[in-house]
Structure 1
Amino acid sequence: MFIFRQLYDATSSTYTYLLADEGQAVLIDPVFEQARRDAALLRELDLRLLYTLDTHVHADHVTAAWLLQRRLGSRIALSAASGAQGADRLLQHGDRVSFGRRHLEVRATPGHTDGCVSYVLDDQQMAFTGDTLLIRGCGRTDFQQGSAERLFRSVHGQLFTLPAGCLLYPGHDYRGITASSVAEERRHNPRLGGEADLGDFTGYMQHLGLPHPKLIDQAVPANLRCGRPADGALPPPEPGWAPLAYTFAGLWEIEPDALAESAARVQIVDVREAAERNDALGHIPGSLALPMAELEARRAELATDRPIVTVCRSGTRSAQACLLLQRAGHTRVANLSGGMLRWRAQARAVHGETA
């Protein structure tokens, strides 16, 4: 089954795209700070990441290619014309990147940078254009080997020649718009569409007057190393107080066996109503009864020097409690995955059952 997801980094307004088929996945333009999120989604969808694919050497964020390679064993691929070091595969115009039964065609679309490429899905129903073509706009051409003439020819020769119904997915959008189409951009793009010719476009681009990108001095050198930090050091390790798993929902979760081993070192907070603690499921020995309705008012009862694990019947209410505590400033908090149902299914000790 073909899978497609569009992901967003609010800090840089960057879109990351996940495409997968038959359990094999690629990520286009992953962001360093979102690597944990992307890895969680891959794990929850039971996907193996084959490649990270950057559309170019970015100036506004650092790619997660190197970090995901280290954590997941994925391969790094980007344009041979990018000048980047450390890639597993340097792509040329016309190359294919395969995943499952599908593939992406590589199209060289320079102009924003020398190494810009766009990725076109095999049926030409989707294209990922990076900064070459944005929704009703395009990437700037005033730094990093930029050339308005080359960008104009890239768009008209490689992207506007795709089928009219082909959906276009850009590298960024600063208004929250998620996609466009070839037909829309041919007609409505104020820089490149309609009757605009090369002279019109170059005149437009010469007078954009944009400020220098804030992160260019940090992002470009890092991205020329495929996102590897200058010292080659990995980011800080995952929380060490217990074996935890990060979820795509933005939560840390702990499995029953890990909680059983860590119980003496953590605060177990049962957010069910009082009557539920003594029903057929019972409650975890030593857990604190703190119903959801009272959690905000009674947060002061929680120690600040010990991690917190939230618990409910199925893990749903306790997930909300976990988020509430995170927003309140608790940095070491996790949810019991599957709640008391999974705890009991694994034959863990309980008090108060009435079975």
Structure 2
Amino acid sequence: MIFCQLFEPLSSTYTYLLGCEETAQAILIDPVIVAIERDLGELSRLGLRLAYSLDTHIHADHITAALELKKRVGSKIAGPAIDRLPCVDVGIEEGRPFQLGAILLKPLHTPGHTDGHFAYVSDERVFTGDALLIEGCGRTDFQNGDAAVLYKSVHEKLFSLPDDCLVYPAHDYNKRHVSSIAQEKERNPRLGEGRTLEQFQGIMAGLNLPYPKFIDHAVPGNRQCGVCPADLPDKLAQYCAKMTDSQQG
């Protein structure tokens, strides 16, 4: 399998390109609209045709590129079926593997950050979205988030994966690229280190995070699979503008 990790610096989002060497088809996990030219350029460079975009959840900090990619190259939109988005071509469900050529993804419903959140297991890798970050996790105070539910998702599903399974999150804010299940069990200060549910709930309740500055535009836009709002304030215009500097992680 061809594998690339790509980084969008404005929202600190990782996009993952998975390519099948047999069919020359590809999947993009969590593509960002401002990075679409970078992603299409990477696909061209590798001689791959994008077959699917696949989101882990309805994002609150950026606009997905799913719809624009479909318009540009004809790729299909895949996403969690539980969200019931009419713009999604293929609904993802736990227990139903998602396959493209030699690429096989095992979907895991991992709610808690959002109620429709999914992670995707591919051989020795797991794409954890915002459910499990490197020594952290996504917040649980919006989009039907729930700390107790997230704790259960991580401990019963993600932490049950092999210790050497590589953790590839949707974000990192400290220039880190990859972790492992063993490392997160041992070093994650919120969910690892033997933290109890009560301790985790206390940690999340005490974060006192500011209201997400883009959420009121991102969530409605992403419920349409990636529509930039017409009323976007000038101070947030960069979230839908073309990137001037494409960085690769």
1:224 pairs with 2:229: no
1:103 equivalent in structure 2: 104
For residues 120-145 of structure 1, the C-alpha deviation after alignment (integer angstroms, 9 at most, x for no partner) is: 00x2x000000000000000001110
**3-state SS, counterpart of residue 167 of structure 2:** strand
1:211 pairs with 2:206: no
For residues 321-354 of structure 1, the C-alpha deviation after alignment (integer angstroms, 9 at most, x for no partner) is: xxxxxxxxxxxxxxxxxxxxxxxxxxxxxxxxxx
What CA distance in whole angstroms lies between the structure 2 residues aligned with 1:102 and 1:42?
16
1:305 equivalent in structure 2: none
For residues 271-329 of structure 1, the C-alpha deviation after alignment (integer angstroms, 9 at most, x for no partner) is: xxxxxxxxxxxxxxxxxxxxxxxxxxxxxxxxxxxxxxxxxxxxxxxxxxxxxxxxxxx
What CA distance in whole angstroms lies between the structure 1 residues aligned with 2:175 and 2:54?
23
**3-state SS, counterpart of residue 76 of structure 1:** strand
Q: 1:230 deviation in Å?
A: 5.5
What CA distance in whole angstroms lies between the structure 2 residues aligned with 1:62 and 1:179?
23
**Normalising by the residue count of structure 2, what TM-score does the alignment of the two structures yield?**
0.90
What CA distance in whole angstroms lies between the structure 2 residues aligned with 1:84 and 1:207?
33
Q: 1:92 deviation in Å?
A: 1.0
Q: 1:93 deviation in Å?
A: 1.0
Letter of the 1:81 counterpart: I
Q: 1:158 deviation in Å?
A: 1.1
Equivalences for 1:191-210 in 2 at 5 Å? Answer: 191-210=190-209
What CA distance in whole angstroms lies between the structure 2 residues aligned with 1:82 and 1:137?
25
Does structure 2 retain, via aligned residues, the 8 Å contact 1:83–1:224? Answer: no
What CA distance in whole angstroms lies between the structure 2 residues aligned with 1:130 and 1:102?
18
Q: 1:82 deviation in Å?
A: 2.4
1:20 equivalent in structure 2: 19
1:53 equivalent in structure 2: 54
What CA distance in whole angstroms lies between the structure 2 residues aligned with 1:96 and 1:59?
26
For residues 148-203 of structure 1, the C-alpha deviation after alignment (integer angstroms, 9 at most, x for no partner) is: 01100000111000000000000000001001000000111001112111111111
1:158 equivalent in structure 2: 157
For residues 46-89 of structure 1, the C-alpha deviation after alignment (integer angstroms, 9 at most, x for no partner) is: 10111101000000000000000111111101112224330001
2:140 equivalent in structure 1: 141
For residues 236-290 of structure 1, the C-alpha deviation after alignment (integer angstroms, 9 at most, x for no partner) is: xx9xxxxxxxxx899xxxxxxxxxxxxxxxxxxxxxxxxxxxxxxxxxxxxxxxx
Does structure 1 retain, via aligned residues, the 8 Å contact 2:7–2:247? Answer: no
Q: Would you identify which runs of 4 or more consecutive aligned residues in structure 1 move more than 4 Å?
A: none
2:116 equivalent in structure 1: 115
Q: For structure 2, which runs of at least 5 residues remain unmatched after alignment?
A: 231-241
What CA distance in whole angstroms lies between the structure 2 residues aligned with 1:169 and 1:193?
17
* Greater RCO, 1 or 2 (C-alpha within 8 Å, sep 6+): 2
What CA distance in whole angstroms lies between the structure 2 residues aligned with 1:67 and 1:111?
28
**Normalising by the residue count of structure 1, what TM-score does the alignment of the two structures yield?**
0.63
In terms of Rg, which structure is larger?
A: 1
1:82 equivalent in structure 2: 83
Letter of the 2:80 counterpart: S
1:127 equivalent in structure 2: 126
Q: 1:96 deviation in Å?
A: 1.7
Does structure 2 retain, via aligned residues, the 8 Å contact 1:83–1:115? Answer: no
- Greater Cα offset, 25-34 or 85-94: 85-94
Q: Give the length in aligned residue pairs.
A: 233
Does structure 2 retain, via aligned residues, the 8 Å contact 1:84–1:223? Answer: no
Equivalences for 1:1-355 in 2 at 5 Å? Answer: 2-21=1-20, 22=22, 23-121=24-122, 123=123, 125-229=124-228
**3-state SS, counterpart of residue 121 of structure 2:** strand
Q: For structure 1, which runs of at least 5 residues remain unmatched after alignment?
A: 232-237, 239-247, 251-355
What CA distance in whole angstroms lies between the structure 2 residues aligned with 1:82 and 1:131?
16
Distance 1:186 1:249, change over 3 A: closer
**3-state SS, counterpart of residue 61 of structure 1:** coil
Letter of the 1:50 counterpart: A
**3-state SS, counterpart of residue 43 of structure 1:** helix
What CA distance in whole angstroms lies between the structure 2 residues aligned with 1:116 and 1:173?
18
